[in-house]
């Protein structure tokens, strides 16, 4: 695979984690490229509100006992008033009077207990989340704020002012196609197929790497390319449009000796990971895009 600047290019193998840049990203050549924004994951559910019955206060509990005691006394008074005179007039015994009074008291107590036993309607009581503040889920409104509404969106809008048909999704598809075409041209050493699709600076650097591979009699092979491209940057600078795409995936990428066909680096069967940023540029407006830089993700 093409080796960006800063990576030993004698073998032409897939760049390692040391990083490097081939070509130019304009004023952002020394900036770290922007990685894709991850899709918002499902936020944890907020701490639920519980439906609970209100707990009686100490004053309410005392008041309940006082109410029961008052009912007992009232029952005794009512029983004496209703039945006391009748019993005395008839000369009835003390036992009957007490039995009637007791029955009235028991009846009132049972009615009061039944009223107190009736369940109170639950009320919605918000329980404070016991988790620390830094571990609590973010408010729901934060999930609706898209981090993509940032420099990328503004850059796309700037480009569309002069090219209303510019579509980042379609451009990502073009990036994937050019990635495959570039690997094919690199392994076959037929770089002329890329002359109109890369900047003159990029084309010159590719020629330098190709000639170096020839001198050391090494050949790079690429196969089974499986990659995905996504636009992560868009901006205008000095009358030019710039777009950077993040490319990740895998492919077979190995280097062999041209004389013996023996394996020098990589694997003929085990794919290597691909994670790079490809930047394109053009004169601002509906003009043809050209690859201007390849940068290894670090």
* CA nearest to 289, candidates 297, 298, 279, 274: 279
Mean pLDDT of 66-78: 50
pTM (predicted TM-score): 0.62
CA 71 to chain centroid, in Å, comes to: 64
pLDDT given for residue 5 in this prediction: 46
**Which residues lie across from 198 on neighbouring strands?**
291
What residues contact 71, with CB distance under 8 A and at least 6 apart?
108, 109, 112
pLDDT surpassing 80 at residue 71 = no
**Sign of torsion over alpha carbons 106, 112, 118, 124:** negative
**Which residues lie across from 46 on neighbouring strands?**
none
Is the pLDDT higher at 15 or at 292? 292
Q: What is the DSSP string of 233-254?
A: EEEEETTEEEEEEEEEEEEEEE
Mean pLDDT of 248-255: 96
* CA nearest to 222, candidates 175, 272, 172: 272
pLDDT given for residue 21 in this prediction: 81
Is residue 244 within 8 A of residue 232, CB to CB? The reply is yes
Mean pLDDT of 275-291: 97
Q: What is the DSSP string of 28-51?
A: GTTSPPPPPPPPPPPPPPPPPPEE
Quote the Cα angle for 184-189-191, to 5°: 80
> How long, in residues, is the chain?
298
* Tokens at 254, concatenated: 């190995």
Tens of pLDDT, residue by residue over 17-53, are 334 789 999 999 988 999 997 765 444 444 444 344 4
* Tokens at 284, concatenated: 């601002």
Going from the N-terminus, what domains does the chain have, and what CATH number goes with each?
21-34+151-296 (3.10.450.240), 57-119 (no CATH)
Which stretch of 13-27, 65-79, 233-247 has the lowest confidence by average pLDDT?
A: 65-79
User: Quick check: helix, strand or coil at residue 69?
Assistant: helix
* Tokens at 275, concatenated: 């994670």
Mean pLDDT of 192-208: 95
In the DSSP assignment, the letter for residue 20 is -
Quote the Cα angle for 58-63-66, to 5°: 130
Is residue 55 within 8 A of residue 265, CB to CB? The reply is no
Quote the Cα angle for 55-60-66, to 5°: 140
Tens of pLDDT, residue by residue over 156-170, are 999 999 999 999 999
Tens of pLDDT, residue by residue over 85-130, are 544 444 555 655 665 556 566 566 666 666 665 555 555 444 455 5
pLDDT given for residue 272 in this prediction: 95
What average pLDDT is seen over the chain? 76
In the DSSP assignment, the letter for residue 268 is S
pLDDT given for residue 31 in this prediction: 87
């Amino acid at each position: 695979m093409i080796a960006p600047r800063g990576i030993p290019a004698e073998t032409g193998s897939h760049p390692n984690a040391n990083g490097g840049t081939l070509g130019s990203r304009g004023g952002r050549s020394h900036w770290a490229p922007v990685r894709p924004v991850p899709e918002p994951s499902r936020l944890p559910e907020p701490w639920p509100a519980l439906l609970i019955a209100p707990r009686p206060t100490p004053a309410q509990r005392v008041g309940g006992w006082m109410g029961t005691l008052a009912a007992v006394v009232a029952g005794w008074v009512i029983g004496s008033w209703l039945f006391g005179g009748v019993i005395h007039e008839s000369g009835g015994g003390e036992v009957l009077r007490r039995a009637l009074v007791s029955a009235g008291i028991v009846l009132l107590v049972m009615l009061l207990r039944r009223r107190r036993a009736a369940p109170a309607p639950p009320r919605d009581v918000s329980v404070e989340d016991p988790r620390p503040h830094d571990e609590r889920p973010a408010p729901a409104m934060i999930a609706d704020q898209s981090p993509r509404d940032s420099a990328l969106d503004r850059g796309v809008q700037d480009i569309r002012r002069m090219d209303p048909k510019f579509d980042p999704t379609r451009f990502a598809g073009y990036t994937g196609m050019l990635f495959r075409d570039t690997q094919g041209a690199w392994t076959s050493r037929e770089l002329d197929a890329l002359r109109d699709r890369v900047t003159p600076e990029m084309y010159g650097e590719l020629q330098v790497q190709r000639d170096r591979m020839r001198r050391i009699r090494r050949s790079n092979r690429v196969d089974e390319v499986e990659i995905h491209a996504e636009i992560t940057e868009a901006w205008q600078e000095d009358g030019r449009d710039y777009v950077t795409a993040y490319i990740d995936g895998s492919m077979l990428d190995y280097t062999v000796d041209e004389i013996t066909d023996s394996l020098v680096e990589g694997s003929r069967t085990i794919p290597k990971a691909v994670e790079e940023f490809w930047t394109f540029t053009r004169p601002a407006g509906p003009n043809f895009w050209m690859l201007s830089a390849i940068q290894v993700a670090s």
